[in-house]
Structure 1
């Protein structure tokens, strides 16, 4: 989802974009990565490849292959060809205390996903001098037909069910893929390499997030707050993934719009999309 908007925003700013899905390039195949970068000689690479949280918990080896080793492969080749590297990481690197976490807070790595993503961050920063590590929030957006489109899935649920239930004890910063893509391109126009939190302004519970989505669609379906224990999952995800975007502030970049505003904007865009029905 993020990759789609990255390509669109980069194209709108005059960049020539080459998208390489997994079918065309396995980031953990060092020889293939070298050949691709040797052929393309890009100015910048944004690596958004990833394995989902629960799949990482079930298969830590694959998690490390893609996130850690794959990140190292791409970082190494970016350094070799003189390209800037943007490693897309995660907001799930911290603990259970409900507060906003900045780039200067110590990671608390509760899941295999977090451990492998953090290893990828370290590889990016160690192996490429022109590296950005970007930690987005709870991403939403992209094509309505995407199987993992969170907003569309909640719309479908609200139309199908008499009540929608969502966890009131899990917290994060919902973030538009379009806004995150804009901020990544903003960073690429600088040489201020390092770690950046990239989220829409504010934060809230999963329940507040879902309620905002349902309200944005104008649906009457009630949203009921419940405890996350109602929905057990393999990965012990942190209770709080709310991020504070200190480094973009220090760089002088304006805050991204509040997440509620971004959801309403995206829902309005969906209404005008022929693929959404």
Structure 2
């Protein structure tokens, strides 16, 4: 175990992002010096200016929470998605190598096709079904091909947490206005609470983890089950009716099953992620009451 206290971290997306903002907060709790940056602070596609920034700041850790995440829009904007999800991580690998600092990059369950019926491990074959998934997988591959070993790639999924609008926040707003909602029931995944994701990421760093790790809360849910649990926890009187994916056609194909196996995380850190239901209650009872959402 290494002590991270006093280390300096740059968090790309750390000022405004759903994950980045919480990650910045958690790093500070572990006495890590944080430099959160938004895309107003730097141009993610200007290698020269980013290199100069790193030269000035001399970080020990670089966290990349920036991505092109508009899954459906990516089908029409493949070039934009590719620049942020593939070209940018490749650039970061070069810069991290030149600065001799650790790079932590966040990826997605969308690298899988969803045809399994048991949780995906880190070594399962990838087969993305969307431009978003394809560009994120290409980003992972660029990092692994970079020849720089001090890289940690974290695959995560279905994020919710404080500070920024997310699926649960939207669902609760709809539920307050309507008697019933229809939500997709034939897509299952791993709902993940950003404060837990941040803590488990820090635990991996303390254990000097490298390579690819799945980091999500435990258990699985469909979007319908997640919505129903959130509405129930909030004591809102609104019925949730399950519907198939075909009821809400989307441009990009979603994996029907993308639950992630976290046994590798447990093996390295000794941590078993807590169930998403517990995390959801923390979010609803604490975060939504105490933080204004963007």
**Residue aligning to 1:100:** 119
- What is the root-mean-square deviation in Å for CA atoms of aligned residues? 1.3
Q: Does the alignment pair 1:182 with 2:190?
A: no
| Contact 1:29-1:73 at 8 Å conserved across structures | no
Q: CA deviation at 1:256?
A: 1.2
| Contact 1:33-1:73 at 8 Å conserved across structures | no
**Residue aligning to 1:134:** 154
For 1:147-158, list aligned pairs within 5 A.
Answer: 148-158=165-175
Structure 2 residues not aligned, in runs of 5+: 1-17
**Residue aligning to 2:265:** 248
What CA distance in whole angstroms lies between the structure 1 residues aligned with 2:264 and 2:43? Answer: 31
Over residues 218-264 of structure 1, what are the superposed CA-to-partner deviations in whole Å (9 max), with x where a residue is unaligned?
11211110011111111111111210113212214311110011101
Report the count of equivalent residues.
Answer: 273
Q: CA deviation at 1:271?
A: 4.8
Partner of residue 201 from structure 1, selected from 206, 218, 232: 218
Partner of residue 211 from structure 1, selected from 228, 238, 261: 228
Q: Does the alignment pair 1:192 with 2:220?
A: no
Q: Does the alignment pair 1:33 with 2:50?
A: yes
What CA distance in whole angstroms lies between the structure 2 residues aligned with 1:82 and 1:274? Answer: 37
Q: Does the alignment pair 1:71 with 2:102?
A: no
Question: Where has structure 1 moved over 3 Å in runs of 4 or more?
Answer: none
**Residue aligning to 2:104:** 86
What CA distance in whole angstroms lies between the structure 2 residues aligned with 1:116 and 1:96? Answer: 17
| Contact 1:25-1:32 at 8 Å conserved across structures | yes
Compare 125-134 and 101-110 and name the one that shifted more: 125-134
Over residues 39-98 of structure 1, what are the superposed CA-to-partner deviations in whole Å (9 max), with x where a residue is unaligned?
111000110101121122111111111111100111110011011001100111112323
Compare 90-99 and 204-213 and name the one that shifted more: 90-99
Q: CA deviation at 1:131?
A: 0.2
Q: CA deviation at 1:126?
A: 2.5
**Secondary structure, aligned partner of 1:3:** helix
**Secondary structure, aligned partner of 2:22:** helix
Structure 1 residues not aligned, in runs of 5+: none
Q: CA deviation at 1:15?
A: 0.5
Over residues 95-116 of structure 1, what are the superposed CA-to-partner deviations in whole Å (9 max), with x where a residue is unaligned?
2323311101000111111111
| Contact 1:199-1:256 at 8 Å conserved across structures | yes
**Secondary structure, aligned partner of 1:272:** helix
**Secondary structure, aligned partner of 2:212:** strand
| Contact 1:137-1:174 at 8 Å conserved across structures | yes
What CA distance in whole angstroms lies between the structure 2 residues aligned with 1:26 and 1:247? Answer: 35
What CA distance in whole angstroms lies between the structure 1 residues aligned with 2:158 and 2:292? Answer: 23
Compare 201-210 and 266-275 and name the one that shifted more: 266-275
| Contact 1:197-1:244 at 8 Å conserved across structures | yes
Partner of residue 13 from structure 1, selected from 10, 22, 30: 30
What CA distance in whole angstroms lies between the structure 2 residues aligned with 1:275 and 1:69? Answer: 34
Q: TM-score, normalised by structure 1?
A: 0.95
**Residue aligning to 2:139:** 120
